[in-house]
Amino acid sequence: MEELLDTGSRLRVKIRFLLPTLPKIEKKAALWLLDNMEETGGMTLANFSETSGSSEASILRFCRRLGVNGFSELKALLHQESEIEDDADLPAFDVKPEDSMAEILEKVFFCNIQTLKDTMALVSSEYDKALDALLKARRVCFFSIGDAIVPCVLAQNKFMRLGIQCCVNTDADMQIITASNMNPGDAAIAISYSGKTKSVVDSMKLASERGATTICITKMEKSPLIRCCDIKLFTATYDHSEGKVIVARRIAEQAIMEALYLGLLYKGGAEYRENLKRTAEVLKTNKIP
């Protein structure tokens, strides 16, 4: 996995993110740490090893996966994080029947803000690779299903204003057709929370086989989608809502696409800015004076 950049620690987020991919013995240490962060700060490596039931070597390997040099640095980060109010364990969408609309609104706002903060903890150099691929792309195609199509459509609207050729298809068959006609020099972007949506995964496999650069935005690190993508961008949404329909995951995906758009606008040369000015002028004709 691409090493996570230091964006202010957020250790809980990083540990939860890594859990699905950890070897059994490292996962044991990680789970114990999640439940005993405050206690861990006062332990030696030997104490932690004995209490968590993990070997010292596996704990040090886990530290390296987190991007820290050893157990002492891990404890320093734990101390740093304990000085900041940690709201990462609050329910993601704990709405109750007796809540007023003001209380529901506050919880929705909190959930979205928290998701964006947590996603920042997963930022890596993959973002630079994604922007570089888009700057070089002759055409950008988006692949998603259901409400994941929303950030794709919004991104298409922004990219087209810069003069970038792009397409979004909501039909699964049309996505397969689009992917089968992609070529080297094209970029395919998939948005899938689970990374397991069949039509999206199949489309990205085809796009990859055709030589296109493949980029995914997803939550899970272990999923069929990431296995066929060159560049992986991760979100940190923990959806405990009824029906798994929390909008926060779409907010994180939209924010990532907005960041890529701004990267294109300000690093893509004068042509993009001229195209944006021209389209802004043209769109004025669609407004009532």
**CATH number of the domain bearing residue 197:** 3.40.50.10490
- Tell whether 160 and 268 lie within a shared domain: yes
Q: 71: domain range?
A: 11-82
C-alpha distances in angstroms, 143 versus 73, 128, 249? 41, 21, 16
**What are the φ and ψ backbone dihedral angles of 53, each rounded to 5 degrees?**
75, 25
Q: What is the pLDDT of residue 69?
A: 87
Provide the token pair at 250: 């779409």
E-assigned strands of the chain? 139-143, 166-168, 186-191, 213-218, 231-234
What is the count of structural domains for the chain?
2
Residue 105 lies in a domain: no
pTM of the model: 0.80
Last residue of a domain, one of 82, 98, 113: 82
At 189 the pLDDT is 98
Question: 149 vs 114, 142, 161, CA distance in Å?
Answer: 22, 8, 19
Instruction: Report if residue 146 sits inside a domain.
Output: yes
Q: Which amino acid is at 263?
A: G
Residue closest to 63 by CA, chosen among 51, 53, 75: 75
The answer on 247 and 131 residing in a single domain is: yes
For the ranges 47-61, 70-84, 195-209, 245-259, the lowest mean pLDDT is seen at 70-84
**Contact predicate 4/123, CB 8 Å:** yes
pLDDT digits (tens, 9 = 90+) for 158-192: 999 999 999 999 899 999 999 999 999 999 999 99
Residue at which a domain ends, from 82, 114, 142: 82
CATH of the domain at 26: 1.10.10.10
* Mean pLDDT of the 254-282 span: 94
Same domain, 156 and 227: yes
